[in-house]
A and B are shown apart, each in its own frame.
Chain A
Amino acid sequence: MTETGVARDLMHSAEIKQIVRSAYAAVDSSSERLAGKLYSPQELAQVPQSAIEGALGVGNHLRHAQIDAGETLLDLGCGAGIDTVLAAQRTGPAGHVIALDFLSEMLERTKTAAAEAGLANVDALEGDIEAIPLADGSVDHVISNGVINLAPRKARVLAECARVLRPGGKLTVADLTVAEEELPPEILTHPATWAG
Chain B
Amino acid sequence: MNSRPFVLLTVCLFVLTIALSLYVWQLRRTASDVSPVLNPPRAVAPPGTGPAKPATLWVAHDKPGALRTISISLPLSSERQRRAAELLRALLNIYSAKDSPHPLPSTSEIHSVYYVDPGLVVIDVNSALAYGQTSGVLAEELTIASFVQTLSANQSGILRVKILVDGKERSTLAGHADLSGIYDVAQVSSLARQLSSQ
The reply to whether chain A is a binding partner of chain B is no
Chain B interfacial positions (CB closer than 8 Å to A): none
